[in-house]
């Protein structure tokens, strides 16, 4: 939802963001895709997996890489 309106644009893919004191960054910054053998990427470099799989991947990488809270994003 943007400005109180629903966003009906197509989803380009998913990502997993890490939140730390300095802001957000992708799980790719820590090469954490190596921890996830079932991860798949699309032609724009985002996760091609469905969002529920991105949520599962997020649980698998918590506590790995930089000290960050990993959050799935669509």
Asked whether residue 3 is domain-assigned, the answer is no
Total domains in the fold of the chain? 1
The DSSP element (H or E) to which 42 belongs, if any, is none
Closest CA to 58 of 13, 12, 15: 15
Asked whether residue 67 is domain-assigned, the answer is yes
Cα dihedral 20, 22, 23, 24, rounded to 10, equals: -60
Return the bridge partners of 69, or none. 19
Asked whether residue 7 is domain-assigned, the answer is no
Asked whether residue 4 is domain-assigned, the answer is no
Asked whether residue 10 is domain-assigned, the answer is no
What pLDDT, on a 0 to 100 scale, did the predictor assign at position 35? Answer: 95
The pTM assigned to this predicted structure is 0.82
What pLDDT, on a 0 to 100 scale, did the predictor assign at position 43? Answer: 96
Which range marks the domain in which residue 68 is found? 15-73
What pLDDT, on a 0 to 100 scale, did the predictor assign at position 22? Answer: 82
Identify the segments of the chain with pLDDT beneath 70. Answer: 1-5
């Amino acid at each position: 939802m943007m400005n109180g309106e629903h966003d009906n644009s197509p989803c380009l893919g998913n990502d997993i963001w890490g939140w730390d004191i300095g802001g957000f960054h992708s799980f790719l910054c820590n090469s954490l895709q190596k921890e996830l053998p079932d991860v798949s990427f699309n032609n724009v470099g985002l996760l091609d997996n469905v969002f529920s799989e991105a949520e599962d991947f997020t649980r698998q990488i918590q506590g790995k890489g930089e000290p960050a809270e990993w959050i799935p994003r669509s």
